[in-house]
Structure 1
Amino acid sequence: MSSLTPDETILGLLAVRDRHGYELLECFRSPQHLGRVWRLSTSQIYAVLKRLEREGWIAGTEIASENAPPRTEYTLTPSGKTRLEEWLFMPQPSASIRRIRVEFLSRLYIAHQLSIPPDTIARHQHAACLAQLERLAEERQHVETAIDQLALELAIRQLEAVLGWIEQSVLMPSD
C-alpha cells in the first residue's frame, strides 16, 4: 500500500483554481476546508509541490507582486488532471480506517469543490468496506487467541460504523 500523501488532494484544489503555496496551506489549516482531515506544515506543502511539479502533474509560474516578494502560482497540468480523476474515481479504495478518515473525506471534499456528485466515490468506498468486513467476519471464525479476537472485533465494529456513516451521511444525506 502506498504512503498517505496529500498529493491528489492538492491536485484537486488546483483543479478548482490556480493557487500559490500559502493559499493551499490555508485550505489544509482551516476547519471549514481540510483542517480536520489533514495536518500539514509549510515545509510539507512546499515539498509536495516540488514533487508534483517534478512528476509533471502541476506547473509553477512566478508571479511578481508590488508589495511582496514574487510568489509561485501552481496550475494543474493535463497529466495532473488525469491523475486526479483516477484518484477521485478509484474503483477499489482502501478500507483502512485511517485512509477512510483522510483520503475518502478528501475525495468527498474535492468532489464537492468541483461540483461532482459524490455517489460513485461513495459507492466504491462502501463496496471496499463491505468486502473487507466480509473478509474479517470469515477470519473471525478461525481466531485462536484473545488478542486476535479483540483486534478483529475492533476492526469489524469500526467498519460497521463506517458503513453506517456512509449509508446515512453520504449516500442518503438529509435535506
Structure 2
Amino acid sequence: MNPVFKRYVLGFLIALFLSGCATHTPRKMYKGEIKNEKDVATIIGINDWTNWNRPVTLRVHKLDGETLYGSPNVLHVDPGSHELVLSVSHDRMMALKLPVLNVSVKAGQVYQLDYRLIEHRASLRESTGTAVYSLRYIGDHKDYEDYLAKNPEYKAGTPLFIPSAG
C-alpha cells in the first residue's frame, strides 16, 4: 500500500476518533467550583451526519467574547444572558460572517442550537445559502437524560426533536 495513502488514512482515523471522544463531554464555562446540572444551563450544538453527503455542524465558537477552541458540542453555562458566536457548516460550506445570538438561559434547562435553511443554491463551481439560527428550548435535565436513554441515536449530536408536553 502507498505510504502517503496510509498516512492520510491514519490521520483521518485519528481525527475521527478524537472528534467522537471530545464531542459529548460538557465543557464547564462558568467560574468557580463544579456545579450540579440543576445549577447550570446546558447548550448543545448540532453534529448531524445522518445525510453524509450534506452534513451540518453548528456549535458555539465564542461565549461572551471568549473563544472556545475545539468548538465543544455541549456547554454548561451560568444562568442568565449570554452572547453566542456560532461556528457553522452546512453541506461543507462555512459561514462567511459568523452568526451571533443573544440568549437568556435558565438553570437546570437544556437548549439546542437550531437552524432553518432558507435558501440553498449549488452549482459545480460554488454553493451558497442563507439560514436563520436560534436557541431552542429542549426541557429540563431529567427529561433530556430520559429521552437520550430511550433514543441512543441522538447521542451522536443529531438535532433533537422532542415532542413538547404542552
**Which TM class, normalised by the smaller chain length?**
under 0.3
The TM-score normalised by the length of structure 2 is: 0.23
- Higher strand share goes to which structure? 2
- Higher helix share goes to which structure? 1
The TM-score normalised by the length of structure 1 is: 0.23
> Larger Rg: 1 or 2?
1
